[in-house]
A and B are shown apart, each in its own frame.
Chain A
Amino acid sequence: MNTNIASQFSGLPMKALIGAPLKAATDANAMIANAQTQFILTTCFEKSNDSGNQLVPKMVNFTLSRSVIEKDGSISTQPIKMDISIPLMTLIPINSLAIEKLKVSFNMEVKSSREIKKKEDREQKDVPSKSRRTTMQGRRQRSTHGKKQNSEPSSKPQQAHDFETELHGSLAKSAQGEQQSSAAHASYEVTLEAGQLPLPNGITTILEIFSKNMMPLPSKQ
């Protein structure tokens, strides 16, 4: 039975069931990565005027406000405004562009059950037959016949009694009823998880350099 249940799964297109969603997700990730790269190169970078095709980061200007310490050691009441040029790339949350998790799961359950109940009730009435008929007479005769050899024959007349017995019976097999049941259960679960890959080292390095080299400059009055 178990072999039959296992064979139920043999026809499942596991390759398609598991591979197709994973491939779709991979293709989507690749397409997103490609679009993201194009976005970074075309939007966050621009060609340098000085050196041909060299790309330089596109900068955007921010106004930075902060308090400063006055000459007398007190903190300024009015914040000082400064200009700061920030790479446009650092403003975009690039690392959020990816399919974070992919989970493919399915359950298949095959159940097989068979139950056979057999109940037999039989009544039997035995009618008197030659073999079951017992005659006391026969025994008596045999007994008296034995006595004849050892002793004198009895003066009393022989008394013969015939007894007939009838056997009534009932055979019931209800308690021994046959019951056959079998159940098979099989489940199959496949879970796949695809995590997000970290940013390439090149982009991480560029972002770190950009972040560490942002220096505010005093605004031109």
Chain B
Amino acid sequence: MSIKSKLDCPECGAPIYFESNLLLTGQSFSCSNSHCDVSIALTATDKEVVSDAFSKFEQIRNTASSQAG
């Protein structure tokens, strides 16, 4: 399951919205500020670290959902 998140643009501070599954495939995401042409993409070397972090986060979120449900 994909996790939607955001990252502050290093140039203008506007949010850069991304989805975890697309980020892990190496896709680049552009800044939401139309005047800023920054785009970022995860490097292949750190893909495993980020994937592991999102998986653990997903587990906690599922636990929270089951508790709330």
Contact = CB atoms under 8 A, between A and B. Distances in A.
Contacts of A62: 40-43
Interface string B1-30: 001111110110100000000000000100
A92 B37 contact: no
B6 to A, nearest CB: 8
Interface in A11-65: 24-25, 28, 31-32, 35-36, 39, 43-44, 58, 60-65
B60 A36 contact: yes
A61 B43 contact: yes
Contacts of A88: 49-50, 53
Contact of A93 (B4, B38, B67): B4
A24 B39 CA distance: 43
A84 interface: yes
Contacts, number: 94
A60 to B, nearest CB: 4
B10 to A, nearest CB: 4
Contacts of B4: 93
Given A28-B64, A91-B50, A39 B57 contact: yes
Interface size class of chain A, counting residues whose CB lies under 8 Å from the partner chain? 35 or more
A108 to B, nearest CB: 25
Nearest to B67: A28
A190 interface: no
A219 to B, nearest CB: 10
A39 B57 CA distance: 7
A32 B38 contact: no
B64 A39 contact: no
Interface of B: 3-8, 10-11, 13, 28, 37-43, 45-46, 49-50, 52-54, 56-57, 60-61, 63-64, 67-68
14 contacts: A32-B60, A39-B56, A43-B57, A60-B42, A65-B38, A66-B39, A83-B43, A88-B53, A92-B5, A92-B54, A93-B5, A97-B60, A214-B8, A216-B10
